[in-house]
Structure 1
Amino acid sequence: MPNPRSEDRELDDATVDLFGLGSSTVTRGLWAFAVVYTVVTIAAGWHIRSVHSWAGLVAGLMIFAVATLIVQRTGGPRFPISAAISAAVLAVCGLAISLWSLPADSYLQLQTAPPVSAATIVFTLLAVHGRPSFAWAGAVCGTLIAGLWGIAIGFGFVTGAGNTAFCYPVLVLAMLFVLMARPLAERIHVLRERAVAQAATEAATAAAAAERGRQLSQLERRARPILSEIVGGHEFTIGEVADVRLTEAQLRDGIRAPAWESDRVRDAVWQARRRGVSVLLLDDGALSVAPDRDLMHRLCDVLVDELEAVDSGQVTARVLPPGRSLVASIVVNTGPTIRRIEYGVGGEMSEHSPTVPVATSDE
């Protein structure tokens, strides 16, 4: 049963992705704001001669940059509370330092616009990232600090706090966007799941069609000439009957053990059966779940070598079911001796020669 909290986190991620907050476009926009911030600060504070004031304004800008960087770059399934607290506190501190660095004798209302706008951007990003409570708490703290600053320079609490008034409509709009984006994120989540399921179904259908095509091609190439001769009333010799039986066994191998399907294995099995060796190929799907071409190539090489080395007895090659520690086994039973070659999931090989015959059906 799906976890409601995990689903909420996925939807929060989808909402954030919907706004593209980590995209290069947003990054370029923030850099453009930083340039505008600097230009407006310099133009509005052109008459400020205090080195301490300019140092405070620069420090405020750097603090805003760090806060914005934290909000934009912090990833994870949900925006961490520690990062949200850090960003909100830094934004409030940046606003406080910037406001208190403005001298009262050369104050212009335009001078408060850059730091208040920067703090508003940080709080808006926090709200969109799923931490609206921290954004609103930071905005309220920023208003209180602006009001205290207004009292300190003699303009009064209301005038000072009024400089942050435009922060709240922006936060309200951000919250509305998030609320509208959440249903859209749910739809995106559902559509994504449907797309993945449809892609898996199409892939399975294509694979099944390809397998059927391969088997029909083999049937057309190998069985049709024999069937045509049967329909034509051809009288088969003993050698031809043996070849027909070998062809039938080869067709069964292609259906029963597709993992062993290769020209070298096919030829080696054909020749071994001609010599009277009983060959059984099985495929229970371990290499279909986790294909490993190098391992399958090595397995085919070993099987070919074993088939070429025996003139009688039985050879059983099996790809085991998925989920086991072993991937495949090759058992060579020549009567007096039985050898068992096993391959693990990591490709490691082990060989056993038990003194007591091993029943291949228990593999």
Structure 2
Amino acid sequence: MTARGYDIRDVLGMKRWGVWLVLVGYLVAIWVPLVASRHEFTWLVPPLIGGLLISAMAIAVVVIPGDPMPLCAACMTVAAGPLANALVLLETPTSKGNAVTVSHSAVIGVYVFVILRGRRVLPWCGLAAMACVYAWWGTRTGQSPTGAALMLVFEIGPLVIGVLLSFTLRSTAREVFSLREQITDDLGKAAAESAAADERAHQVHYLDATARPLLELIATGAPLADAQRLDCEVLEAHLRDRMRAPLMTELHLDEPVYRARVRGVDVVLIDDSGRDRDDVSDVFAVSVAEAISQIATEVLDDADDGEVFIRIPPPGRGVAASILHRSGDGASRRVEVADDGQVRVAG
């Protein structure tokens, strides 16, 4: 059960800093009695290695991501339990001691969290393997192997509780994560709708400021003067460019284009970038955008007649923008701005 990066560790608090305090307390509870029982061991090294294995198990069940816990990691964690028990019991000649109890109780504590993390069968296999280890140890130390294995009978209870809790907890977590996803989706839709409404309001305000005066003039039915007709043509071309090539507006080319069209220059703006966005920072670096704006403005201001083509080509061609001016006498001048902001005069 995974939902957009969330897993059962969120519900168990395993991604918060407080879990490390709990983990440290758990490790202290393991090592204090283990060290205090050092006189019970015939050799201290194997039990210390066993304690390190149990510590590694506790850390692994907290830090390893994924839900359910990855199978390989879960198998290694569970398998470390019987091995740790064997190392502790190997140097423990008698059943009277804290080390014997601590070694299996500490492992069972980790097994419960393995169950909560979605691996319900493996810990039971681990418990069966631990019983075999204890039976071997009982035979080795002259005790009843059955009696030694039955020392683990009380550890069945925590595993049963862990299984029952895992069904309830994971079901609740699934509902919580589903509700969280739904809320996130609703918030995203609300934000998108709000942004769309703001954009519509902005466009309406812009049209009201630019197009309304000419529309009201046309609505009067009075003949239009040549200057007014030119204003209509320029406005129509400008509004078309805002829809077809919004990046040009973001490059601050509206005013230079307007001035050129008023002088009689035919300006064509082409955006082949293939982006469904009008934020120039999503398409160009700041230095590249500034270079395009500067060069295009210079070409537009220098043009007195003819045609000016400003094009944003598709990505991956090494050219961020190309500006072509064809004057009325047939001469042409082409300027390109590379992806790195370098300016090249092609003709």
TM-score with structure 1 setting the length: 0.76
Q: Distance in 2 between matches of 1:175 and 1:255?
A: 60
Which residue in 1 is equivalent to 2:264?
276
Which residue in 2 is equivalent to 1:142?
130
Within a 5 Å distance, the mapping from 1:63-82 to structure 2 comes to: 63-76=53-66, 79-82=69-72
Q: Distance in 1 between matches of 2:175 and 2:326?
A: 60
Q: Distance in 1 between matches of 2:327 and 2:156?
A: 87
Q: Once the two structures are superposed, what CA deviation does each residue of 1:195-252 show, in whole Å capped at 9, x if it has no partner?
A: 4543443343233223222222222333344456667898865435434543443344
SS at match of 2:14: coil
Which residue in 1 is equivalent to 2:298?
305
Question: 5+ unaligned residues in a row in structure 2: which ranges?
Answer: none
1:211 to 199, 208, 215: 199
1:116 is aligned to 2:116: no
| CA positional deviation for 1:272 | 0.6
1:151 to 139, 144, 164: 139
Q: Distance in 2 between matches of 1:13 and 1:63?
A: 28
Does the 8 Å contact 2:41/2:92 carry over to 1?
A: no
Partner AA of 1:301 in structure 2:
Q
Does the 8 Å contact 1:286/1:323 carry over to 2?
A: no
TM-score with structure 2 setting the length: 0.79
Partner AA of 1:292 in structure 2:
V
1:49 is aligned to 2:39: yes
Does the 8 Å contact 2:264/2:304 carry over to 1?
A: yes
Q: Distance in 2 between matches of 1:298 and 1:76?
A: 47
Does the 8 Å contact 1:11/1:182 carry over to 2?
A: no
| CA positional deviation for 1:28 | 1.9
Q: Distance in 1 between matches of 2:160 and 2:317?
A: 57
Q: Distance in 2 between matches of 1:222 and 1:14?
A: 54
Which residue in 2 is equivalent to 1:357?
none
Does the 8 Å contact 1:148/1:157 carry over to 2?
A: yes
Residue identity (%): 25
1:93 is aligned to 2:86: no
Q: Distance in 2 between matches of 1:11 and 1:63?
A: 32
Q: Distance in 1 between matches of 2:318 and 2:251?
A: 28
RMSD: 3.8
Q: Once the two structures are superposed, what CA deviation does each residue of 1:285-312 show, in whole Å capped at 9, x if it has no partner?
A: 7344482352444433332222123222
SS at match of 1:280: strand
Q: Once the two structures are superposed, what CA deviation does each residue of 1:164-201 show, in whole Å capped at 9, x if it has no partner?
A: 22322222222223323443344345435434543443
| CA positional deviation for 1:96 | 1.6
| CA positional deviation for 1:282 | 4.3
| CA positional deviation for 1:273 | 0.8
Question: 5+ unaligned residues in a row in structure 1: which ranges?
Answer: 1-7, 355-363
Alignment coverage as a number of residue pairs: 341
Which residue in 2 is equivalent to 1:173?
161
Q: Distance in 2 between matches of 1:343 and 1:192?
A: 46
